[in-house]
Chain A
Amino acid sequence: MERRRSFPDVVVGTIFVLIGGAFVVGSLGYELGTPLRMGPGAFPLLVGAIVAALGLAIVVKGFIAGEVIPFGRIPWRAIAAIVVALLFFGFTVRGLGFVVTSAVTALVTTLASSRVRLLTAVAVAAGLTVASTLIFVVGLQLRLPLWGPWLGF
């Protein structure tokens, strides 16, 4: 059989090994107990070892007979925009209030698309802010203040 090296397989296998390994190391810090009374560390130790073993199997298979997956390009711009938008939402929703936070989040998210013009982005963000305010605060009565204390009024 032809040797097919698969980069994605090696990457994802390594991720499984790292996460599984981290949990194994972490669970050794908790009491393992006996089979009769398993301590808090026993189950994560077992499952962490399974994850790491499966990850290792995926890495090995990735070097010998991996699954050929078209990897495609990575949308760095979209990742950056969406991560920033969501983090902004989390940081400011209490301080700036629902309206400003939603508007900025929607605007930054819209910029994730490389095919969007600024004017369109502003229009989309404005529309989404109005819509979400009507749906969530007016309609569903979520207890979210519209304006936050950071705005000074």
Chain B
Amino acid sequence: MDLLNDLALGFSTALAIQNILYCFVGVLLGTAVGVLPGIGPTATVAMLLPITFSFEPVTALIMLAGIYYGAQYGGSTTAILINLPGESSAAVTALDGHAMARQGRAGAALAAAAIGSFIAGTVATVVLAVAAPPLARVALQFGPAEYFSLVLLGLIVSIALARGTALKALAMIALGVLLGTVGQDIYTGTPRFVFDRRELYGGIDFVSVAVGMFGVAEILRNLENEQASTAITSRVRNLWPTREDWRRMAGPIARATGLGSALGVLPGGGHVLASFTSYAVEKRISKRPQEFGNGAIEGVAGPESANNAAAQTSFIPLLTLGLPAHPVMALMVGAFIVHGITPGPNVITDEPALFWGLIASMWIGNVLLVLLNLPLIGLWVRMLRIPYKVLFPMIILFAAIGTYSLSFNAYDVYTIVFFGILGYILIKCGCEPAPLLLGFVLGPLLEENMRRALIISRGDATVFLTRPISAVLLVLAVAALVLAVLPAIRKRREVVFTEEE
């Protein structure tokens, strides 16, 4: 049994003391930033990335991954208790979760979210372990033309991540790709758009872009309207769900696990889509659709399971193709590269301990999260009382220190100012920052593979259409683009997103 051997290797790596420790630190931090409004996993991972440079690669990735899926857990806590989703994927959880909390059933809602997430996370980790190796083998046969088409598909699918119009999301992606061209050209070494600044020769640092767009801009957004902090309405008791709850939860959890695992694999699709879809499915097949919105436990268990399953399987494109499906994944690509590992199909054969260790750590992380969240729920509730006027200076200061320590270059700090302001203006005008960051990270890959494919084909641009895999991927990309722009579907998306407000 190859899989068992591989998993054994993974667990022996993940169970090393320092790996468990940093897995714990990761999920703890992840839960914290998921609970705290105003800071998300993207900004956190970006700020902490420089610190992990001195770690062993596997330890660094285990911790960063822990922050990512830990935030999914934490985000549901605030959604249920104070109707404030800490993470965008928890937005649908707030609908029924908060209704349950108002009826005094916050405990059952939190338990449903945690249990559903745990089951879904466990199953999705197995899916990841089973599906990744064959996919990596397929990916090994990809040439530059296929990679170009795949990256293009991933970028276009990421429109689904964005609120607002598809046109703006598309413009944000293209802007990200454009900003990614700053720095020395890979083939000729010509410095492009550097204004004779040595600091720009290596390109704009993606950590600065992420911290600026997701940290600084978000804080400016929150400081527009300063209100007194929301009072927490309910005290949490009766954590354990009733027998009736269990019966009603089982179906949604099972369905959402499958749904989330599948949607998480889509490059750019990810966990937000999964939780919205799961909610829609449960509402449609329920015998009591009128209960949805008024505290149906299915409406908590389903989306929460779906987003956690998707959070796990969204590592599949990262680990097999080197394609990030989420801004956090884009940052993890950076973490791989800093440690001298090129993310992609070779990771699984060149670094088996890292690959399987990371997968095993996700299961361990899910166990830790259940232990952290259910008995310690009181602690997280208390953390909500930290006033924002203490929180945002902390984020700004840590952002400055974190980006400065990247390479001890003040220029990186000025970059977060620039992207903070740019991001703020763009967000204020209805453009989401996530597509820009994905475009920024994937842009250089797009250019490199496009030029390499053209060199191999002797300048024949039809190579992207004559190679079958590449052609299929391009057709999918066009289909995704058409779907995103079609008015009917756009209206559906708007409905889904207005429901969350």
Binding site for B on A (CB under 8 A): 8-9, 11-12, 15-16, 19-20, 23, 26-27, 30-31, 34-41, 43-44, 47-48, 50-51, 54-55, 57-58, 61, 67, 69, 71-75, 78-79, 82-83, 85-87, 89-91, 93-94, 102, 105-106, 109-110, 112-116, 120, 124-125, 127-128, 131-132, 136, 140-144
Which of A23, A36, A38 interacts with B193 by CB under 8 Å? A23
Q: How far is the CA of A53 from the CA of B413 in the complex (A)?
A: 31
Contacts known (A26-B193, A67-B165); A37 close to B430, Cβ less than 8 A: no
Q: How far is the CA of A27 from the CA of B178 in the complex (A)?
A: 11
Q: How far is the CA of A3 from the CA of B458 in the complex (A)?
A: 50
Which of A30, A40, A106 interacts with B397 by CB under 8 Å? A106
Across the interface, name the chain A residue whose C-beta is closest to B192.
Answer: A40
A131 to chain B, nearest CB (A): 8
Which of B392, B451, B455 counts the most A-chain CB atoms under 10 A from its CB?
Answer: B451
B378 to chain A, nearest CB (A): 23
Which of A57, A86, A109 interacts with B416 by CB under 8 Å? A86
Q: Is B489 an interface residue (CB 8 A)?
A: no
Q: Is B472 an interface residue (CB 8 A)?
A: no
Are B405 and A144 neighbours in the complex by a CB distance under 8 Å? yes
B15 to chain A, nearest CB (A): 24
Across the interface, name the chain B residue whose C-beta is closest to A12.
Answer: B429
Are B396 and A36 neighbours in the complex by a CB distance under 8 Å? no
Across the interface, name the chain A residue whose C-beta is closest to B404.
Answer: A93
Task: Flag the segment in B4-12, B118-126, B221-229 that touches A.
Answer: B221-229
Q: Is B287 an interface residue (CB 8 A)?
A: no
Are B220 and A79 neighbours in the complex by a CB distance under 8 Å? yes
Contacts of A116 in B (CB 8 A): 389
Apart from A15-B426, A82-B219, what 16 extra A-B contacts exist at CB < 8 Å?
A9-B430, A30-B190, A40-B185, A47-B443, A72-B224, A72-B225, A74-B224, A79-B220, A79-B421, A86-B416, A86-B420, A89-B413, A116-B389, A128-B397, A141-B54, A142-B51
Contacts known (A35-B461, A93-B404); A75 close to B220, Cβ less than 8 A: yes
Q: How far is the CA of A104 from the CA of B52 in the complex (A)?
A: 26
Are A136 and B192 neighbours in the complex by a CB distance under 8 Å? no
A16 to chain B, nearest CB (A): 5
Contacts of A110 in B (CB 8 A): 389, 393
Q: How far is the CA of A125 from the CA of B397 in the complex (A)?
A: 10
Contacts of B400 in A (CB 8 A): 85-86, 89-90, 105
**Binary contact track B379-397/A, C-beta < 8 Å → 1, others 0:** 0000000001110111011
Residues of B contacting A: mostly: helix
Q: How far is the CA of A83 from the CA of B426 in the complex (A)?
A: 17
Contacts of A124 in B (CB 8 A): 389-390, 393
Binding site for A on B (CB under 8 A): 51, 54, 164-165, 167-168, 170-171, 174-175, 177-178, 181, 185, 187-188, 190, 192-193, 216, 219-220, 223-226, 388-390, 392-394, 396-398, 400-401, 404-405, 408, 410-411, 413-414, 416-417, 420-421, 424-426, 428-431, 443, 447, 450-451, 454-455, 458-459, 461
Are B401 and A136 neighbours in the complex by a CB distance under 8 Å? yes
Contacts of A136 in B (CB 8 A): 51, 401, 405
Are B420 and A58 neighbours in the complex by a CB distance under 8 Å? no
Are A86 and B392 neighbours in the complex by a CB distance under 8 Å? no
Q: How far is the CA of A147 from the CA of B317 in the complex (A)?
A: 45
Are A69 and B171 neighbours in the complex by a CB distance under 8 Å? no
Across the interface, name the chain A residue whose C-beta is closest to B193.
Answer: A26
Are B461 and A27 neighbours in the complex by a CB distance under 8 Å? no
Across the interface, name the chain A residue whose C-beta is closest to B399.
Answer: A86
B202 to chain A, nearest CB (A): 15
Are B220 and A78 neighbours in the complex by a CB distance under 8 Å? yes
Contacts known (A86-B413, A90-B410, A112-B223); A71 close to B428, Cβ less than 8 A: yes
